A and B are shown apart, each in its own frame.
Chain A
Amino acid sequence: MNITFNNQLLRRSQSLIALFLLCALIALLSDKFLTATNLWNVLRQISVNVCIAVGMTLVVLMAGIDLSVGSVLAFSGAVCAGLIKYGFAFESLDLFVGFTVLGGILGAMLVGLLLGLFNGWVITKFVVPPFVATLAMLTIARGMTMLYTQGIPVSNLGPELEYIGSGWLLGIPVPVWISLIVVLVFVFISRRTAFGRYIYAIGGNEKVAFLSGININRIKLAVYGLAGMLAAVGGVMVTARLNSAQPNAGMTYELDAIAAVVIGGTSLSGGVGSVTGTVIGAAIIGVLNNGLVLLNVSPFWQQVAKGVVILLAVIIDKMNRKEA
């Protein structure tokens, strides 16, 4: 890693160790944990959060936040379902466009990208704090989802889309493939491109980045756009798994994504962290949920446990930084 090499190596191996210990503990308590079925299940369950959390990582590295991803996920999932099932009608032109599954997916991603770009535009053009701008989008996109679906799920979308949600390819579930590709692409972008370096630079010190000739607003716009697009990818996956777009899909997913980012060692003040750390963070949350289910712990306790893990992660991170 190029930026903050020393800290990061320590931090990343630390969350890896935590993940390993957690797995070992659950394996000791439940013999169902270390079965192939269960492990694939865990990976499939975390794949949506991984996609969203990768986008969130970029935003948080820039010292921003995106609260709208859950709603953007719901809206783009609904758009995906609506386009596939009903197509798109320009009534004034008396024109009807039908969509293939691929067309529906691309349409959803475009919608996610546009909503994300809108976030970025409000944040850069009007200097609205990201928290506020994306909070507004959280309710706007949710409302648009309700309007678009009239509050009713859009179901029976055909076997092709269902395959994306529940199928297997080369012995690996399709959603896991998707999240794997997303992770690889964004690990590369964040580590090996100027764009990725600029994200770290802006989070590290925005003034320095500006004086070094970096077009800050353009980078911010692109990052919020990407975060929206990755939320849409998550939306497609959720819709495909249920073979149905639920109007209230993705509620509080933004919090899971932020949790994965934070547990993965990315600093909310920006400049420090990594995509791979976030993946480990998402895995810790997934394994924890899975383990508590296997151990028959009440779902109410699962929420408490997740909160405690977030606190522990941040407190350990703070203590590390004091020593450094």
Chain B
Amino acid sequence: MLLETQNISKSFPGVKALDQVSLRLQPASVNALLGENGAGKSTLLKILTGVYARYEGTILLNGEPVRFGSVREARQAGIAIIHQELNLVPQLTVAENLFLGQELRTPLGLLDVAGMNRKTEEVLAKVNLAIPPQTRVQRLKVGEQQLVEIAKVLLTDAAVILMDEPTSALSDAEIDNLHRIIRALKQEGRTIVYISHKMDELFRIADTYSVLRDGVMQGEGRMADTTEQELIRMMVGRDVRIETKTNGTGKEEEVLRVSDLGLQHPYVSRRMALQGISFGLKKGEILGIFGLMGAGRTELLETLFGLHPDRSKFDLVLEGKPCKVQSPLSAIRQGLAFVTEDRKGEGLILGADISANISLPTLAGKAVLRKSKENAQARSYISRLAIKTPSEGQLCRNLSGGNQQKVVLAKWLSTQPRILFMDEPTRGIDIRAKHDFYELMKQLAAGGMSIILVSSEIPEILTLSDRILVMAEGRITASFSASDVDEDRLLKAALPGQINPDRRLRQP
């Protein structure tokens, strides 16, 4: 089956996620889809699988125009996706998971357990998974669960299989097995779309490539005709306008030093989520931390903020004094503040008003609250950060994303921190609010505040940072100063599997 997209465009408020994207996927081939975070890959996948029913452009299936109104329609047309996060019910058996929602029935309307188990055995054999169909999924290793996901797709006899970072949780042996299966699927004439950041894998398994950047198709071709260097260049782009940081004065005094930070993986014993992380932060410095999704950047900030005291270990020196951070409360007392990535889940109480949200971290120890003082404080931040709202009594639920994010910032500034952590501070906010944010951060740093900025956007990191650390697979893989940064090297250091030949972190 031939799947083709013609001039697909998709806009979200303030952002054009896809701009005239045309893609031809040949049958019996493995097509690599590349792009940075936010390049538009997931949007494209969601359109192909019927999640987004509204878009401009045409999808052709064997030359016939189709339009999927729902996930079900896409699946019936033979397009299946294997998500990066596994979508299995751990308490159910493998067979029950495979047939979930499409159970076989006996003529009496009862479940045809024997029939389902038999079919499950057949597809499990195809993916080289030698386990009984009655095994509960929670007893399987992550790699085996991934194979169950693939088996589920094979059950529906999908002609096009989209795989979103299928190997991010797999060991090398499991990756080899997956690649064998993919080759077999190719032999059967199926179309595979393979998304991965791991270049070595793409060159091993893919036949063709397509590169997206900022929603625009940058190039397509045969893997055999390209090089890793060229693909990276297409992903990063040459035309990124970079304002160079020129603010190198008075940044000598070290306010924070982290030594040998390690964080135990939350679920897998004897596996580290973060390992051997050491760095320093100077007064008034903006330290950028770049990395791809899953590199461990958020976990690093969380650990420093005292969210994982039970499974982390590190030495912390703040302004020359060794100290311990065991909880957010102690972090705040030491002068740390954390603008979290998920402003709705972790930043704001949406049902409360602006002034109550801003004052929340500073109420401890106050006997009687003075609403008039809280309101005055809120009003001063509203004007200082240019928060657009009718009043400080507005519920945060009713603010736009950018303004919500400013309230989160105001909340943390109210603690008068010495060190500010910012995790993807401009994700999902419009260009204008973004620039407001950049200006604010520069002002704060000029005023002596030290900032750790975690971002997946290279231009953002380059615009703001005095120094840049790159993380991959739970470690720091490179360090650049603003003056000698090189985008190719930056991105390359962020790709997994670059640390050294032994891939300790990937071994389960």
Interface residues of A (CB under 8 A from B): 2-7, 191-194, 196-198, 200-201, 204-205, 207-215, 271-272
Contacts and interface: CB of A to CB of B under 8 A. Distances in A.
A241 B366 CA distance: 39
27 contacts: A2-B369, A2-B371, A2-B374, A4-B352, A6-B393, A192-B368, A194-B363, A194-B364, A194-B366, A194-B369, A197-B360, A200-B352, A201-B352, A201-B356, A201-B360, A204-B349, A204-B351, A207-B345, A207-B346, A208-B346, A208-B348, A208-B349, A211-B328, A211-B338, A212-B332, A213-B328, A272-B351
B368 A193 contact: yes
Interface string B338-350: 1010000111111
Interface string B296-309: 00000000010100
A198 B307 CA distance: 19
A214 B329 contact: yes
Given A213-B364, A271-B349, 20 more contacts: A2-B353, A2-B356, A3-B352, A3-B353, A3-B356, A4-B353, A6-B395, A194-B363, A194-B367, A200-B352, A200-B356, A201-B360, A204-B350, A205-B349, A208-B345, A212-B361, A213-B331, A213-B333, A215-B327, A272-B351
A135 to B, nearest CB: 24
B13 interface: no
Interface centre among B329, B338, B351 (most CB of A within 10 A): B351
B interface secondary structure, majority: mixed
Contact of A213 (B352, B355, B361): B361
A17 to B, nearest CB: 23
Contacts of A200: 349, 352, 356
Contacts, number: 92
A233 B352 CA distance: 32
A200 B346 CA distance: 15
B332 to A, nearest CB: 4
A interface secondary structure, majority: helix
Interface in B358-399: 360-361, 363-369, 371, 374, 393, 395
Interface string B400-418: 0000000000010000000
Contacts of B361: 212-213
Contacts of B363: 194, 197-198
Which 4 pairs show the lowest CB-CB distances between chains A and B? A204-B349, A213-B329, A194-B363, A212-B361
Interface centre among B332, B347, B356, B360 (most CB of A within 10 A): B360
B364 A205 contact: no
A251 to B, nearest CB: 35
B420 to A, nearest CB: 14
A212 B356 contact: no
B351 A271 contact: yes
A257 B238 CA distance: 67
B396 to A, nearest CB: 10
Nearest to B305: A211
Contacts of A215: 327, 329
Given A3-B356, A5-B393, A192-B368, A213 B349 contact: no
B89 to A, nearest CB: 21
Contacts of A6: 393, 395
Contacts of A204: 349-352
B328 A212 contact: yes
Interface centre among B340, B345, B349, B366 (most CB of A within 10 A): B349
Contacts of B395: 4, 6-7
B352 A211 contact: no
Contacts of B332: 212-213
Given A192-B369, A209-B360, A215-B329, A5 B353 contact: yes
Contacts of A7: 395
Contacts of B349: 200-201, 204-205, 208-209, 271
B76 to A, nearest CB: 34
A196 B305 CA distance: 25
A271 B361 CA distance: 17
Contacts of B360: 197, 201, 208-209, 212, 214
Contact of B356 (A192, A193, A197, A211): A197
Interface centre among A5, A205, A214 (most CB of B within 10 A): A205
A211 B340 contact: yes
Contacts of B347: 208, 211
A207 B361 CA distance: 13
A198 B369 CA distance: 12
A209 B348 CA distance: 9
Contacts of B371: 2
Contacts of B328: 210-213
Contacts of A212: 328, 332, 360-361, 411
Contacts of A272: 351
B394 to A, nearest CB: 9
A209 B340 CA distance: 13
A214 B333 CA distance: 12
